[in-house]
Amino acid sequence: MQISVILAHPNPQSFNHAIAETIIAELNRNGHQVVFHDLYAERFDPVLHADEIPQDASLPKEIQSHCKEISDADGIVVIHPNWWGQPPAVLKGWVDRVIRPGIAYKFLEGDNGEGIPAGLLKAKAALVFNTSNTPAQREAEAFGDPLETLWKNCIFDLCGVKIFHREMFNVVIASTAEQRRQWLSAVREVVRQYLCSQGTDRILDVRQH
Amino acid sequence: MQISVILAHPNPQSFNHAIAETIIAELNRNGHQVVFHDLYAERFDPVLHADEIPQDASLPKEIQSHCKEISDADGIVVIHPNWWGQPPAVLKGWVDRVIRPGIAYKFLEGDNGEGIPAGLLKAKAALVFNTSNTPAQREAEAFGDPLETLWKNCIFDLCGVKIFHREMFNVVIASTAEQRRQWLSAVREVVRQYLCSQGTDRILDVRQH
C-alpha cells in the first residue's frame, strides 16, 4: 500500500519527528511504500491565493504533485503539535491548498458550493498523532479538544476517509524518556492496527515463537 | 480606544472585505483609532520557526510591531472565511507568531509550560466575523462549529479577553445582495454594541430626532 505521511513541526529534534520516524520505519517494515513530507524542512508555502481556488485552476507543479500523492494514498498519517487547538499554519495551508475540490471532494451536480460534497479520497484510514502540553482533562473541559473534530469530521469524513484514529500525547514538556518510549510503542501499535493488519498477525506470530 | 482589525481573505472583492470596511468605517465614525491588517495584501508570512518560539527570542521588526499593536489594543476584531472549521493558514500563522508568551499570555512562576497560563491582553472585547457556505444546521450537527471554540476558548479566553462575540454569516454563496446588506447592518450593530457603547447611545439619540 502507498501511505502518505505529513509532518509539521519546526524543530528537527522534536518528539514529533521521533513519531514520524517511528511510523515510517514501521510502515517500511510492513512492506508499504511511504510518501513523506516534512513541511517545515521542505519550506512548504501555506498561503492559498485566489487564483488557486477554482476547481479548474492551473496549479503549481509542487501542488499538483501533493494532490496526486494524496489521491493515490491508501492511508494517510498526519503528525503535529497542538497549537491553539489547531495545526501549525504550515499544515493548515497544506490542507487549504492540497485538500482541493476535484481531488479530495466534489460538489454534486447543480450544487454551486452550498451543498454537501462527496468525498473522493480512496484512502481507507487516516491517523493523526498530536503532541500537547495541555493535560488531557483541561484539554477536554476548557477547550473541548477541537483537533478531534477538525481532523475527523471537518476534513477526513468529508473527504470520504471513514476509518479515523487519533492519539494525543500529553504533557510532552513534563514527560520522561521512559514515557516517550512508551508513547512510541503506542504509535507502532496504532500503525500496525490500522495500516498493517496482515503485518500485525505476522509480527504477533513471530513474537509467540 | 485603539482597535485592532485583522482580515484574512484572498479576494479583495470578497464579502469579508466588505465586512472589514464596514467595521472600520463604524469604528472611525465613533472616534476610535483603528489599526488594520489585511494579511493577504500585506503578504504576512505565517510560518512560525523554531528560533521565534522562546519567550525571549529576537523577533523580526514586523512581528515586534504586530505584538505591540495587539498589546495596546482596547478591542480586537477578526474577519475570515470558514475554511475546514478553521481560519485560512495566513491567519492561523498570525496567531502562531503574534499571540506569543510574554505578549498575550504568560506562564506562572515555576511553570515550564505545562500549567494554566495567565492572560495578558488588555483588550476588553474580541469580535469574530466569519463567512461560510455551510448551512448553520449542518455546521452545528456535522462539525460542531469548531470556530466558536477555537476563538472563544482556545485563544481569547486564555489570553484574558473575557467579552467575546462571534457572528457566522451563511450561506454566502447563495445569498442575495439584500441579504448581504442586512448582514452588514448586523455587523455595524455588533460593533456598536461591543466596542462603542457611548457611540450607540449617541447614534440612537440622533435617530430619535
Is the pLDDT at A37 greater than 50? The verdict is yes
Helix (H) or strand (E) holding A131: strand A125-132
> Please, which pLDDT band fits residue A189 given cuts at 50, 70 and 90?
very high
Kindly report, residue by residue over B36-70, the tens digit of the pLDDT. 999 999 999 999 999 999 999 999 999 999 999 99
Give chain B's end-to-end CA distance (angstroms, integer). 27
Predicted local confidence at residue B26, as pLDDT: 98
| Candidates B50, B116, B146; nearest CB to A10 | B50
Question: Is residue B140 within 8 Å of B177, Cβ to Cβ?
Answer: no
Cβ–Cβ gap B146/A154 under 8 Å: yes
Residue contact A48–B88, C-beta within 8 A: yes
Domain ranges of chain A: 2-208
Helix ranges restricted to H, B160-209: 177-195, 197-208
Report how far residue B124's alpha carbon sits from residue B121's, in angstroms, rounded to the nearest whole number: 8
Chain B closest CA to A32's CA: distance in Å?
A: 29
DSSP characters for A25-41? HHHHHTT-EEEEEETTT
CB of A95 within 8 Å of any CB in chain B? Answer: yes
pLDDT score of A105: 97
Q: Residue B152: closest CA among chain A residues belongs to which residue?
A: A143
**A50: DSSP letter:** G
Query: Does the pLDDT of residue A29 top 90, yes or no?
Result: yes
- pLDDT, mean over chain A: 94
Q: What is the pLDDT of residue A198?
A: 58
Residue A83 forms contact with B (CB below 8 Å): yes
State yes or no: pLDDT of B23 exceeds 60: yes
What are the pLDDT digits (tens) for B157-183?
A: 999 999 999 999 999 999 999 999 999
Interface of B with A in 158-197 (CB under 8 A): 171, 173-174
Nearest CA in chain A to B136: A114
- Which residue of B46, B99, B142 is in closest CB contact with A153? B142
Distances (CA, A) of A103 to A122, A151, A164, B50, B159: 10, 17, 19, 32, 38
pTM of the entire structure? 0.94
Q: Does A112 touch chain B (CB under 8 A)?
A: yes
Predicted confidence (pLDDT) at residue A206 exceeds the cutoff of 60: no
Q: Are A176 and A15 in contact (CB under 8 A)?
A: no
Residue A174 with chain B: CB contacts under 8 Å: 112, 114
Mutate to test the interface with B, among A16, A38, A44, A47 (most CBs of B within 10 A): A47
List residues bridging with B80 in a β-sheet: B130
Does the pLDDT at position B24 exceed 60? yes
Identify the three-state secondary structure at position A84.
coil
Instruction: For chain B, positions 9-28, list CB contacts with chain A under 8 A.
Output: 10-11
Confidence check: pLDDT of A200 > 90: no
Q: Which of B47, B85, B173 lies closest to A150 in CB terms?
A: B85
Cα atoms in the Cβ-side hemisphere of radius 13 Å centred on B41: 10
Please indicate if any CB of chain A lies within 8 Å of the CB of B133.
yes
pLDDT greater at residue B175 or residue A202: B175
Closest CA to A135 of B118, B146, B113: B113
**pLDDT band for position A95 (50/70/90)?**
very high
Query: In this structure, what C-alpha cell is assigned to residue A47?
Result: 498561503
Least confident of A34-48, A110-124, B63-77: A110-124
Q: How far is A135 from chain B (nearest CA, A)?
A: 7
The CATH fold of domain A2-208? Rossmann fold (3.40.50)
- The pLDDT score that the predictor gives to residue B200 is 46
Cβ pair B171, B134 in contact under 8 A: yes
Q: For residues B200 and A151, which has the higher predicted lDDT (pLDDT)?
A: A151
Confidence band for B113, pLDDT divided at 50, 70 and 90: confident
